[in-house]
Structure 1
Amino acid sequence: MEKWRRMLFLGIVLIALGVIFTTTLSSKFGSLGIVFIALGGLFFIIGMNKKNKEEKDTGEKEKHE
């Protein structure tokens, strides 16, 4: 499995946990939910950046062949 897929999956999971903590468990974990959403967004952005770089690199290799 590519590393960017793991990063995207981790980002999606963290965002989902953040939404759950913010809405249903807001009395105990409200601020923690916002932190999870922010971290999930960060991992999602990192994963998309790695995916785009990998696609760009493979596209350039195909052009040279």
Structure 2
Amino acid sequence: MRLTGSIRVFPRHVPLPHIGKVRTKERTDPLLVLRAEGKAKILPATISREADRWFVSLTCEVERPDPSSG
């Protein structure tokens, strides 16, 4: 299942329609900081279910510094 539109992310979970809160394996604080600075954008999310557990995979576009200018 793919999810598009407005995807909200919190420090330890992602709320999903019809499912509720899905806890993230990794902290999303760095992503939230980059989004606040305008350096990251969340693209579609993919949701899967295995053995009665829900998983969410976030696809992100992140602005990175040019390594040749350092």
Alignment TM class, shorter chain as reference: under 0.3
Question: Between Structure 1 and Structure 2, which shows a larger proportion of helix residues?
Answer: 1
With the length of structure 1 as denominator, give the TM-score of the two structures.
0.25
Give the structure with higher Rg (CA): 1
The higher relative CO (CA closer than 8 Å, separation ≥ 6) is in: 1
